[in-house]
A and B are shown apart, each in its own frame.
Chain A
Amino acid sequence: MRVGVVGVQGDVAEHVAAVERAGDRRGLNVEGVAVRNAGVVPDCDALTLPGGESTTISRLLHRRDIAPEIVDHTAAGKPLFATCAGLIVVSRDARDNRVETLNLMDVTVDRNAFGRQRDSFEAHLDVTGLDEPFPAVFIRAPTVAEADSDVESLATIDGRPVAVREGPVVGTAFHPELTDDFRLHDLALLDPLTDDS
């Protein structure tokens, strides 16, 4: 199966490596493809939206006409896993007119919700559906400020949701692709893909 890593800016190589290793671990043949132009997303079974700078990423997604293809992808019910800046990009509203969001999830997010880089952190995070805590890396991370009732909160810090699911879209405020723990890749991408087949 083919997982497109929307790769206009950010930790794209890390996402490509993570989806392929997550697949290997389950004996699945997963090909990670960095997507920098329009025309590739329609051929992908699933997508990930990496971390990076949400202002830069959202601007490039629209300029390069990849944005409408991502909207069509999730409208067709295909899985999308968005991390950090990716979560901001898929939200309904980032409460900041510098980011043009894709409105794929009924959440509003606060950018840089924990502060600047000096406030970035690692934490062991309890996540719904996982038996053991997840090693979560937060880098100038957002949090979910408001969520509609059809959005499931999977984890919180200080009462604020930092992992959410709505239909085929899973978003985390942290970076599973920077660790060797692929349980969230399973939950967001590989479980839905293998259920369908």
Chain B
Amino acid sequence: MAEPTDLEDLRRGTDLVKRGFARMQQGGVIMDVVTREQARIAEDVGAVAVMALEAVPADIRKRGGVARMPDPANVEEIIDEVSIPAMGKSRIGHRMEAEILEALGVDMIDESEVLTPADDRYHIDKREFTAPFVCGARNLQEALRRIDEGAAMVRTKGEAGTGDVNQAVHHQRNIKGAIRQLTGMNHEEREKWAREHEAPAHLVHETADMGRLPVVNFAAGGIATPADAALMMYHGCDGIFVGSGVFGAEDPEHMGTAIVDAVNDWDNPEALAKVAGAAGSGMKGESNASLPEEERLQDRGV
């Protein structure tokens, strides 16, 4: 008979536990939700987690003003409503918003450029938290800086709230392309790459040796249809965040179900055709090309 293990002997918040949590989300869809009713729908259609925020990115764009963490009462309602993990967004560099989210019991914190940054020079020191973090990145050097700060998951920034997948594709291609380049380099070339790109050298070597990011890499920003989700899986993402794409669609339940199915069947065009046909029409959206530079969210927090 094995010796029983006591609750005092447990180690919490280790890298393995934080990155492991992110690994369990792979092949899944994480949906932005504003209310407990939306959280209920997200779980019912097969989301692996929900992301609590005060307004979906498309509405944040329309509304303007300062975008902050969600109301704690609302976060608690969402946590209570679902059995899947509940995540929450904090402003970039806003350590106290992150601490509040952690105290509420949020399972992962998104230090997100979709909200108004609180610090224009520093991100949160995420290593000090028990809760794991996800951060956005436009390219490999940004991704490695966030991982060095303690991020347990990376996602593309895309251009949130537009319904235009163009920038998410651009960012994912940047990351994958740079990794392919690095794998062909010798030690001194990788060191030089790290210096030139302001990336932590130890993570440059680790990434090059593994041929992929050392943490899970999701797609986010502008994903509005099942075909968009499948496209990001084709580009090598481990899973998908959908912001305005589900609850900005004509029929959120059909769209949510279809995006979940599309992530599973991304490499099966016949199945995708069926899935896409059942989705209903997507959010109207706004082309990236028409966005003035000052309205771009992706340039925040690099």
Contacts and interface: CB of A to CB of B under 8 A. Distances in A.
A178 B11 contact: no
B36 interface: no
Interface in B40-55: 43, 46-49
Contacts of A123: 5, 9-11
Nearest to A14: B23
Interface residues of B, number: 42
Given A52-B27, A112-B83, A122-B17, A60 B9 contact: no
Contacts of B265: 36
Interface string A156-197: 111100000000000000010011000000000000000000
A122 B108 contact: no
B10 A98 contact: no
Interface string A111-128: 110001111111111111
A46 interface: no
Contacts of B11: 121-123
A73 to B, nearest CB: 21
Given A98-B83, A122-B17, A9 B10 contact: no
A45 interface: no
Contact of A10 (B6, B9, B24, B43): B24
Given A8-B264, A52-B28, A155-B2, A122 B105 contact: no
A180 to B, nearest CB: 11
Contacts of A146: none
B102 interface: yes
Among A51, A118, A127, the most chain B Cβ lie within 10 Å of the Cβ of A118
B9 A156 contact: no
B259 to A, nearest CB: 13
**Interface pairs A-B: 8 shortest CB-CB:** A121-B10, A117-B107, A126-B2, A126-B3, A9-B27, A11-B23, A53-B48, A122-B11
Given A117-B21, A117-B85, A158-B6, 12 more contacts: A9-B28, A11-B24, A13-B26, A51-B23, A51-B24, A56-B84, A60-B264, A85-B24, A120-B21, A157-B5, A158-B4, A158-B5
